[in-house]
Amino acid sequence: MSHAITNIVVVGGGTAGWMAASALSRVLNRQATVRLVESDEIGIVGVGEATVPHIKAFNNLLGINEADFVARTQGTFKLGIQFRDWGSPGDSYIHGFGVMGHDIGLTPFHQYWLKGRLAGCATDLIDYSVNTVAAIRGKFMPAPVDVPASNPLGGIAYAYHFDAALYARYLRAYSEARGVRRTEGRIRDVELDPATGHVRAVLLDDGERVEGDLFIDCSGFRGLLIEGALKTGYEEWTRWLPCDRALAVPCERVEAPTPYTRCTAREAGWQWRIPLQHRTGNGYVYSSQYIGDDDAAAKLLARLDGKALADPRPLRFVTGMRKKSWNRNVVALGLASGFMEPLESTSIHMIQAGISKLLQLFPSNGVMDPVLADRFNEQTRFECERIRDFLVLHYKATTRDDSPFWNHCRTMEIPDSLQANIDLFRHSGRFFRNGEEMFGAVSWIQVMIGQGIMPTGYNPLVDQMPDDDLPKFLNSVREIVSKNVDLMPAHQQFIDRECRAAAEAV
């Protein structure tokens, strides 16, 4: 291609497609037209979404008003994820967003906590974070604008739960208002350039031919362009992440929505619970090797908070990633680029990260330079492998021996990169983040400690603090956190005050 990229075609709608369309129309509105092709006959996978704090940056890029967004998507706020029964039956911990305690110089807070635990003067780790304490107490508020980041309230990090169908609808309206053209129709064929192998056009059932310079494949698991047309290849990770199926079902809301997602370990996988304003989303992610579909459905329905609002919807998947997410003039996003189960709510982040990398590496003068694609693919692989390791950690770090599934997870071999992180942390509580990986040290530390990987020592720099001062320091941090959470409104109260008012104003 020698001409500038002026025509971008997004194949597939849903969360991935409309996120791509909205961002591209916002950033490239004077450079290229964006057209999205989707079929109403093909459903989207999304049944309810939990996110991570990075999504706020995406919404800010679009200039979206938070209260309006939450109101229109029946959303709630998320301070973290509660994990039940993962390390052993009866265990519970929260992987909270934001900061943990108060670092001193180069020494992270958890190192002081480790020494305090050995000395018997430290309480549970979750007592030292505003996010985790507020989550347990059902409270929420964003950081006040006039509070410095050094204040615990200034360190609040949060994400959202929302209805995926409503989110796609919201972004569709946003995109179409900015010139994105939506075409309804099923794609029956893909036309390739015989000289370059690039995608020239997609052909619809009604005979229409949709040409493009750059194609964004958001066609879901099938990867219509990236795999169906370009035969890119797929790398499986089921030897480390054995779950291959999921059932999703909404139920009636029976209590005020919690400001956190809940993930409960089950006999052959785990169950999610995502609280929305109008209902609660539920699902069972499991391995078909260890439980049958009918049995899994029966167990899921028996464990709902309220009355089921639909029949369980089955999903089948293979955990892994495309060997290339950018191949020739096709960039795959969302499920078309790969799938890692939703244990840590990474799916939407990976869509967002792919869009961000594409915009940063956007081809100049229309030339699909392999240098750009190679860097995109290298960064995508790095992100996916680090997220993979973080997810595998949840399964491996367990003492459960109450089912064949957990016996497999507890004893399975894991990637060398993950084993090195576990070994270093177990030695003295140290963890080092690699480059721009998604999850930082605080996340890894909460999961490892929450699931029973306890260091046998700590960083000796902690000994610079006199022993008599350590309990005072820990108590002070805990008290400051508790007092700040006292100032926060209940989660439901905040939604009623801020978000429903926005909906009524429209």
Active site residues: 78
Residue with the two structure tokens 């000289």 = 195
d(CA 147, CA 152): 9
What does the H/E/C string look like for 181-200?
A: EEEECCEEEEEECCCCCCEE
Helix (H) or strand (E) holding 328: none
Q: How far is CA 357 from CA 332, 350, 352, 372, 380, in A?
A: 12, 10, 9, 10, 9
Q: How far is CA 247 from CA 131, 272, 382, 399, 419, in A?
A: 30, 10, 29, 26, 31
Q: How far is CA 227 from CA 4, 237, 326, 383, 470, in A?
A: 26, 18, 11, 21, 57
Give the number of residues written for the chain: 506
d(CA 406, CA 206): 50
β-pairing verdict for 338-339 and 330-332: unpaired
d(CA 434, CA 411): 26
Q: How crowded is the C-beta side of 260, counted as CA atoms within 13 Å? A: 23
- Contact criterion met (CB below 8 Å) for 317 and 222: no
Output DSSP code: residue 463. Answer: G
Output DSSP code: residue 460. Answer: G
The dihedral built from the CA positions of residue 70, 51, 261 and 444, taken in this order, carries a sign that is: negative
Q: What phi and psi, each to the nearest 5 degrees, are found at residue 73? A: -105, 10
Pair of tokens at residue 397:
């770090």
With H, G, I as helix, E, B as strand and everything else as coil, classify residue 281.
Answer: strand
Long-range contact pairs involving 233-236 (C-beta distance under 8 Å, separation at least 24) = 233/322, 233/323, 233/324, 234/318, 234/320, 234/321, 234/322, 234/323, 234/338, 235/320, 235/321, 235/322, 235/323, 236/318, 236/319, 236/320
With H, G, I as helix, E, B as strand and everything else as coil, classify residue 70.
Answer: helix
Residue with the two structure tokens 């949060």 = 158
Burial of 288 (0-12, 13-18, 19+ CB in 10 A): middle
Q: What phi and psi, each to the nearest 5 degrees, are found at residue 241? A: -125, 90
Output DSSP code: residue 278. Answer: S
Q: How crowded is the C-beta side of 425, counted as CA atoms within 13 Å? A: 25
